[in-house]
């Protein structure tokens, strides 16, 4: 058996021609790839931020486009609804205009007491139907003359009126809502030129009577 000599430690084999430093392990030094890693991460973060900004900008543009399209659609719906109502009113007004002569005949028959029997039932049914369609009659004796809704066919002077007044309704007027489809045809009277209005005459007469009763 071989005995170990005390005081000597077994050293690793060193290749011939190598220095002692080569036999010691060297500390690890960072490679070029590891040194470039932080810079690469920063560049990637910048690129992602730029892409996020682009996405946000595109989203804002698409949202604005959607809001604009929605507003245009709402305006289109309102125009369509308004046009639909207008077309309906025009169609109804055209139909009722054709029925006005019939309604005039019914009115004259009623005035002369000829609206009786089956004719009365038909006439009342017709008046009910046109009323449901929105037809309204207007024009009364004694109301002030309005050239926008009245058509004066006769003219005269009267001492008992203070303004141009409808004194007779020759043909009633008709309207649908605010739309006049036929003005009321009337006879009008104006105050007598130079004449004192009846109200002023009555007031003056009352003053004279009260003054005449006093004793001096």
Q: What would the pLDDT profile of 43-89 be if each residue is shown by its tens digit?
A: 888 888 888 888 999 999 999 999 999 999 999 999 999 999 888 88
Q: What is the pLDDT of residue 144?
A: 95
Q: What is the pLDDT of residue 177?
A: 85
Mean pLDDT confidence for 191-210: 58
Q: What is the chain's length?
A: 216
pLDDT at 16 over 50: yes
- Amino acid 132: pLDDT: 93
pLDDT of 192 reads 85
Can you say how many angstroms the Cα of residue 127 is from the centroid of all Cα atoms in its chain?
A: 33
The pLDDT value recorded for residue 196 is: 56
Residue 150 Rama label (left phi>0; alpha psi -120 to 50; beta) = beta
**pLDDT of 92 higher than 70:** yes
Give yes or no for a contact between 184 and 201, defined as CB atoms under 8 angstroms apart. no
Q: 211 by DSSP, 3-state: which?
A: helix
Compute the average pLDDT of residues 7-12: 51
Spatial separation of the C-alpha atoms in residues 117 and 48, rounded to whole Å:
92
Least confident of 50-54, 55-59, 181-185, 207-211: 207-211
In this predicted model, what pLDDT tens digit does every residue of 18-43 receive, in sequence order?
554 554 555 455 555 555 556 667 78
Mean pLDDT over the full length of the chain: 80
Report in angstroms the alpha-carbon separations of 52 from 55, 65, 104, 147, 186. 5, 20, 77, 70, 78
Say how far apart CA 102 and CA 125 lie, in whole Å: 13
pTM of the model: 0.56
* 109 pLDDT higher than 90: yes
The predicted pLDDT at position 175 comes to 94
- Weakest-pLDDT range from 96-110, 119-133, 139-153, 196-210: 196-210
Mean pLDDT of 186-214: 63
| CA distance readout (Å), 98 to 93, 94, 127, 143, 172 | 9, 7, 14, 27, 15
- Percent of the chain exceeding pLDDT 90 equals 46
Output the 3-class SS for 93-155.
HHHHHHHHHHHHHHHHHHHCCCCCHHHHHHHHHHHHHHHHCCEEEECCCCCECCCCCEEEEEE
Q: How confident is the model at residue 1 (pLDDT cuts 50, 70, 90)?
A: very low
Helix (H) or strand (E) holding 187: strand 184-191
């Amino acid at each position: 058996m071989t005995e170990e000599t005390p005081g000597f430690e077994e050293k690793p084999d060193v290749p011939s021609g190598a220095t002692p430093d080569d036999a010691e392990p060297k500390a690890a030094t960072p490679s070029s790839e590891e040194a470039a890693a932080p810079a690469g991460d920063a560049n990637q973060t910048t690129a992602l931020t730029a892409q996020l900004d682009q996405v946000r900008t595109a989203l804002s543009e698409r949202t604005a486009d959607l809001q604009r399209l929605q507003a245009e659609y709402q305006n289109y719906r309102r125009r369509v609804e308004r046009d639909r109502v207008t077309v309906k009113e025009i169609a109804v007004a055209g139909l009722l205009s054709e029925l006005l002569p019939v309604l005039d005949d019914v009115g004259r028959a009623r005035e002369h007491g000829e609206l009786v029997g089956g004719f009365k039932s038909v006439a009342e049914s017709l008046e009910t139907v046109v009323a449901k369609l929105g037809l309204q009659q207007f024009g009364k004796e004694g109301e002030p003359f309005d050239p926008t809704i009245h058509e004066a066919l006769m003219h005269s002077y009267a001492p008992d009126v203070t303004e141009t007044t409808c004194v007779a309704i020759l043909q009633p007027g008709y309207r649908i809502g605010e739309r006049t489809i036929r003005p009321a045809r009337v006879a009008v009277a104006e105050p007598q030129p130079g004449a004192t209005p009846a109200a002023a005459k009555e007031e003056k007469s009352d003053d004279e009577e009260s003054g005449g009763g006093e004793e001096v």
